[in-house]
Amino acid sequence: MAAEQAKVDPMHQFTIEPLFGTDHWAIAGYNIAFTNSALWMAITAVVLWVFVAGGLKRQVVPGRWQMAVESFTGFIDNLLAANVGPAGKKYVPYIFSIFMFILFANLLGLLPLALVGLHPFTFTSHFSVTGVLAILSFAIVLVVGFWRHGFHFFSLFVPHGTPLWLMWLIPVIELVSFLVRPFSLALRLFVAMMAGHVLLEVLSSFVIDSTNAGPGWAAMIGIPSFVLMIAICALELLVAGIQAYVFALLTSLYLNDAENLH
Amino acid sequence: MPQISQLAETYSSQIFWLLIFFGFVFFAIGRGMVPKVMATVEARDQQIAADLAAAEAARNAADAEEEAWRVQANAQRAEAQSVIAAAKLDAAKASEVRLASASAAIDARVGEAEARISAARGDALKEIETVAAEAASDIVARLAGVTVDAAAAQGAVKEVLHG
């Protein structure tokens, strides 16, 4: 029985729980309970707001905080300038929002707040969230593409230099690869975040269970697992940044298709 | 896997709150604050570019001024050289004139002195003739007891003196 209780469920951390007794909230029959996921979205938004607001002093000679915020906006600006060109300037607010929102969500979800009794929740490890973000990006690409090019946007499915006798095949492949984009965007982020958290959870259960089993097991399994956990924590910090960057980069590449159409 | 097992009961709440909070992030931060941050960066870049351009212009102005100063200095130096040369020439001419007048005065005085010398020599020669004639007539009177008149004595002396 005691062993049963000590068992760690690595998926439990992804459980969504309504908070503050809001589980009956609904609009038109759809449940909109304020959950731990929504709470961490709110925390992410507030932390991001505080971060950017701290850099809004608009000094000619910037302080450290302003410098940090400006380096992020400059990073997104360069990303769009490199991938979309001058027309990419107008997407800076959206790409900045999506990049920083995902980045802060990933990083906040990694905070070791369990040490003080709180449980961070990484909402980017839910495909219901990453899916909405991916569909947003994809919808913007579609709207921009059809707005700027009309039905000519369909020529996106016919790459330059396609031989005539392959016209029955290439557009189909291109169409499929185009339609897969929102899924790949959403699943990549969701899988990367979930896998990292599961891995950390599993390793931590190794540490706990082996230490409970005795000092010999702790030395043999617990300590190596703990060292590996530290290394993987560093890797997860990297992944948090890389996944946010990949999401922003791919969105800007898709926007380049919509803006410049080959 | 709660992502799937809880999907049916939580998807509406997830989508709703995500749209609320991401909408806040996009409109308040992305649309509201990021343009201000970027405008600040832009303004700074422009100010740096303007400052650099002003510095460049100031350097060019300084170069031009130095060049003008050098040209002016060269001109003034050349002018000074010509003034010095003219002054030298004037001085040379003036000293030449003074030397000429001085040498003319000296020549005149030398000529005068020579004339006086030759006159004095003539006088002296005449006196010598007179004295010699008197001495000759004296000598003749004492030795021969002959009185010779002065004119004859003089003629004889002249004959001896001038050959």
Radius of gyration of chain A (CA): 23
Each residue of A233-244: pLDDT tens digit? Answer: 999 999 999 999
Domain containing residue A145 = 32-260
Residue B1 to residue B9: CA distance in whole angstroms? 14
Looking at the domain assignment, is residue A63 inside a domain?
A: yes
Looking at the domain assignment, is residue A189 inside a domain?
A: yes
Residues of B in Cβ contact (< 8 Å) with A198: none
Vertex B102, ends B96 and B104: CA angle to 5°? 100
CB burial of residue B50 (10 Å; 0-12, 13-18, 19+) = exposed
Looking at the domain assignment, is residue A141 inside a domain?
A: yes
The proportion of chain A whose per-residue pLDDT surpasses 70, expressed as a percent, equals 97
Whether B15 and A132 lie within 8 Å, measured CB to CB: yes
State the DSSP code for A35: B
Looking at the domain assignment, is residue A168 inside a domain?
A: yes
Looking at the domain assignment, is residue A102 inside a domain?
A: yes
Whether A133 and B30 lie within 8 Å, measured CB to CB: no
Whether A35 and B47 lie within 8 Å, measured CB to CB: no
Cα dihedral across residues B68, B72, B77, B78: positive or negative? positive
- Asked if A58 has any chain B CB less than 8 Å from its own CB, the reply is yes
Long-range contacts for A240-243 (Cβ within 8 Å, ≥24 apart)?
Answer: A240/A103, A240/A106, A240/A107, A240/A109, A240/A110, A240/A193, A241/A103, A241/A106, A243/A102, A243/A106, A243/A124, A243/A188, A243/A189, A243/A192, A243/A193
At A30, give phi and psi (nearest 5°): -95, 130
More confident call, A195 vs A31: A195
Looking at the domain assignment, is residue A241 inside a domain?
A: yes
- Asked if B43 has any chain A CB less than 8 Å from its own CB, the reply is yes
Cβ contact A157:A230 at 8 Å: no
Give the residue from A101, A103, A191, A198 with the most B CB atoms within 10 Å of its CB, the best one to mutate.
Answer: A101
Cβ contact B24:A45 at 8 Å: yes
Cβ contact A225:A68 at 8 Å: no
Q: Structural domain boundaries of chain B? A: 33-118
Whole-number average pLDDT of chain B: 89
Rounded to two decimals, the ipTM of the complex is 0.84
Whether A16 and B1 lie within 8 Å, measured CB to CB: no
Q: How many domains, in total, are found in chain A?
A: 1
Each residue of A70-89: pLDDT tens digit? Answer: 889 899 999 999 988 888 88
Each residue of A195-226: pLDDT tens digit? Answer: 998 898 888 888 888 888 888 888 888 888 88
Structure tokens given for A183? 């899924």
Looking at the domain assignment, is residue A4 inside a domain?
A: no
